Structure 1
């Protein structure tokens, strides 16, 4: 692997892994909705500057409604539900629950896009959700609070899945980076609903929580998309996204170092089972993609 590709891989995994404990630090002073709105507004502001420098063209007017919808699902719903979920679920566990996103994406593709979901895919899905159940039983504490938090995080994963499934045609039309700029800004617009009261919260927040929110907005919300786009251009989409299964491991390590969060053995086993199930489903998706590509006369390298 070339060192530039390896560096881009590392940046993506570390930044996305660090987002989960970063949310926990931010929640020490900020409400989940205010943390989410600040994170997206900071990210959107940075992307507006980037778009102006790179002279990224505006999207076609007819595409604006679907761009806003995908921005709402992939960013407004994802970030808000994840932040609310982490009020009762620790950071490492949250990252494991979010790793179910590829399975939701595959199921949505089979329902809405009529893509075939094989027996291997269903086995992987069932395995992953058994892992989620093990995580739930292994966390201890208030079962009701954890169950609600886990449900919210799964809703976040579902929202992100809708974003991934229905973005394909627009990625082809606009490219990864412009489309990401459009949707993050679109998602930030929906978050303006949570603006009231944010000034008082900022003035009363601890310095560490405010730094965490700024970090979340400038780094995990923006930079990984650019790094992943670079990796995708070099090694292909399948290989680029498969590396992201390391994200929960990074999140668990950072959460242990920064927050002192130590998951139980049952939760870790459940996390491992979840990742095995997601990997099986991803293997099924890759296999189908390569079959389609061979029929078209080329192979995804």
Structure 2
């Protein structure tokens, strides 16, 4: 028993680091899109992250697979997990606060459950999970606000774009189950490189990046986003999958919410509305009910 505790402690520490890295990504994006167009920002993000992950594979003595069938699956994963959602979030953060983006994007476990229940049906739809769905969706409605019901203005469209990105993340989680038996670093690197192969040409056509004059702050935000919130985060994530199991794949979904909001408040001067804070509580409660193991939920309720 004693021999396992150090490993668990390191795992929980890394879990907090992962939540911080992914929670900070929204602030990095917010700063990056100030002078770098969304498509170019995300193209650079995937290219830099994919290159760094290739370096990690090289250090581990691994190579990317050569089977074309696996690369087609990497391409689908890239579209669901990076190309579409990264671009939508970067565009949305032209008008949406980083804290608000963090809250909205935390609903991925809810949509993953809905897709699982409707498509794969490999998990039972328990009452606790249903409660989580209701609480989470209520939070989304509170955050997006009644403006969405009176016509989609620029802010509402941006908020809904983040929700659409979240649905993509949920689809990626369901689709990613098909990589069972494959070293998780391979689809991580492969999907990032596929994403870069799509986004870099798009950036060249749409934004003509050679004509841009990004600020030093935006460039630093891009580098931090790529190296820390993408490449390093994936390395930590896949280690946690092996050491902490489901905790690594679920706890970060709601741990990063308060992290992202606090970072937006402290460093970007954002001030979420009271309704947004209520929505945050609903979303976190819903995601926790959806993802916490049943034994953990019982311990939490007993402690309270």
The two structures have a TM-score, normalised by structure 1, of 0.87
Which of 43, 58, 61 aligns to 2:68? It is 61
**CA contact under 8 A between 1:76 and 1:187: conserved in structure 2?**
yes
**CA contact under 8 A between 2:92 and 2:158: conserved in structure 1?**
yes
Runs of 5+ in structure 2 lacking a partner? 296-304
CA RMSD of aligned residues (A): 2.2
Give the structure 1 partner of residue 120 of structure 2: 113
Give the structure 1 partner of residue 299 of structure 2: none
Secondary structure of the 2:229 match is coil
Displacement of 1:240 after TM fit?
Answer: 5.0
Give the structure 2 partner of residue 87 of structure 1: 94
The two structures have a TM-score, normalised by structure 2, of 0.86
Which of 195, 199, 208 aligns to 1:187? It is 195
**CA contact under 8 A between 1:139 and 1:267: conserved in structure 2?**
no
Displacement of 1:173 after TM fit?
Answer: 2.1
**1:179-199, CA deviations, whole angstroms, 9 ceiling, x for partnerless residues?**
211111122211122223112
Give the structure 2 partner of residue 151 of structure 1: 160
Give the structure 1 partner of residue 13 of structure 2: 7
- Give aligned pairs, total: 282
**1:173-220, CA deviations, whole angstroms, 9 ceiling, x for partnerless residues?**
21222221111112221112222311222xx11110111111111110
Map 1:246-265 onto structure 2 (within 5 A): 246-265=255-274
**CA contact under 8 A between 2:253 and 2:287: conserved in structure 1?**
no
Map 1:202-241 onto structure 2 (within 5 A): 204-238=213-247, 241=250
Partner Cα separation in structure 1 for residue 252 and residue 54 of structure 2: 29
Partner Cα separation in structure 1 for residue 243 and residue 70 of structure 2: 28
Are 1:198 and 2:209 matched, yes or no? yes
Runs of 5+ in structure 1 lacking a partner? 289-301
**CA contact under 8 A between 1:138 and 1:265: conserved in structure 2?**
no
Displacement of 1:287 after TM fit?
Answer: 5.0
**CA contact under 8 A between 2:257 and 2:284: conserved in structure 1?**
no
**1:33-69, CA deviations, whole angstroms, 9 ceiling, x for partnerless residues?**
1111111111112122222332323333222212111
Are 1:103 and 2:117 matched, yes or no? no
Are 1:269 and 2:272 matched, yes or no? no
**CA contact under 8 A between 1:138 and 1:264: conserved in structure 2?**
no
